[in-house]
Structure 1
């Protein structure tokens, strides 16, 4: 019996190692490479979290990583004002506009549809955790084809496994974090990290380098 259990555990270990070492399936960039957009229109993000600031917080932090990736990004404040002047102020209404119509209005090559699923800080007796999670898809405004999709998450507790000081230390640390998170908009900073991860380049599943990047065409 013991021998059988040992063999069974060995098989599980081998399966776990095989799964952990499996090569990720290459992302299909066929449509993306055919389109090769130069300019990007970022639509106001859909907000699925209970925090009203989530959409604007994420929107304010997408331009930099996209520009660093090598794309021209239409000014988000100008885009938002254009929609308001046309009677559209909610992200859900804006996301419902046909790609061809967006192309006529803004002249961009592609649009980014962003959705914020988590945004904010959750508190408990001994800990607090600020999490921002978002997903996005890039759509060719000429053809309506989806060129790329991605998602990212960030937390202010990443890598925080220091439990020195015992229970008292944990309680004091949690109390301080709650005070800091309340006094400052911790979620906004975490949203910046999420945005950087979501629109990063140079890895399987990430954005391709844009035409204004010195690495354009190398991916």
Structure 2
């Protein structure tokens, strides 16, 4: 029930995004041939201006993969081990051979995520919060198994009180709050569920899937 509510919430969140585009169904033949059982999620490469974005995103990637039935190495432990090996930044880690990373942890596949956007834009009386990610799953032999891109945008709706001046004030306050501390996490979680579970890029179920 909890998982169903989560999926319903994220599906509803998807309705808040900008114009949707049709995405062709992903070719999963390489994924199905490799039959990965365990996935190593490495720190994200960051092209946004928010230096904290990779750490926030990292906390959202484990759950949808685990719910699809894969063993996912604890992301914070992975990050610590990589740092002990002198690999601190996502860009640096993404340059390492996937075979080497998979061998370090005994993983069947390595998930790379690049943050293209993680920002909020203030325009007149509205604030638009955007996340945009590239996902790439590579097998332990270096073969690309799957890739996807997801962009999600959220703009708080103006509240119509029936009084023009009150509406302007309410919109300004809402935009200021959203601009001061935009909440990216629901969008990040929604993007992850859409690419892994709900959308046309959804990956096959793993060997540890438990149907509730």
Shorter-chain TM-score category?
Answer: 0.7 to 0.9
**1:83: how far off?**
0.7
**Partner SS state of residue 88, structure 2:** coil
**1:190: how far off?**
2.4
Q: Following the alignment from structure 1 to structure 2, what is the Cα–Cα distance between the partners of residues 126 and 145?
A: 47
Equivalent residue, structure 2, for 1:92: 91
Gaps of 5+ in 2: 1-21
Q: Following the alignment from structure 1 to structure 2, what is the Cα–Cα distance between the partners of residues 197 and 24?
A: 12
Equivalent residue, structure 2, for 1:27: 26
Judging changes above 3 Å, is the alpha-carbon distance between structure 1 residues 116 and 145 closer, same or farther for their aligned structure 2 residues? Answer: same
Contact kept in structure 1, 2:127 and 2:179, CA below 8 Å: no
Equivalent residue, structure 2, for 1:211: 207
TM-score, L = length of structure 1 = 0.77
Q: Following the alignment from structure 1 to structure 2, what is the Cα–Cα distance between the partners of residues 75 and 29?
A: 25
Decide which moves more: 92-101 or 160-169: 160-169
Q: Following the alignment from structure 2 to structure 1, what is the Cα–Cα distance between the partners of residues 25 and 51?
A: 37
State how many pairs are aligned. 190
Equivalent residue, structure 1, for 2:189: 192
Q: Following the alignment from structure 2 to structure 1, what is the Cα–Cα distance between the partners of residues 188 and 30?
A: 29
Q: Following the alignment from structure 2 to structure 1, what is the Cα–Cα distance between the partners of residues 37 and 97?
A: 20
**1:120: how far off?**
1.8
Over aligned residue pairs, what C-alpha RMSD do you find? 2.4
Q: Max radius of gyration: which structure?
A: 1
How big is each residue's C-alpha offset from its partner over 1:4-54, in whole Å with a ceiling of 9 and x where there is no partner?
xxxxxxxxxxxxxxxxxxx97543211110011111001101111111111
Gaps of 5+ in 1: 1-22
Judging changes above 3 Å, is the alpha-carbon distance between structure 1 residues 24 and 152 closer, same or farther for their aligned structure 2 residues? Answer: closer
TM-score, L = length of structure 2 = 0.79
Q: Following the alignment from structure 1 to structure 2, what is the Cα–Cα distance between the partners of residues 51 and 174?
A: 25
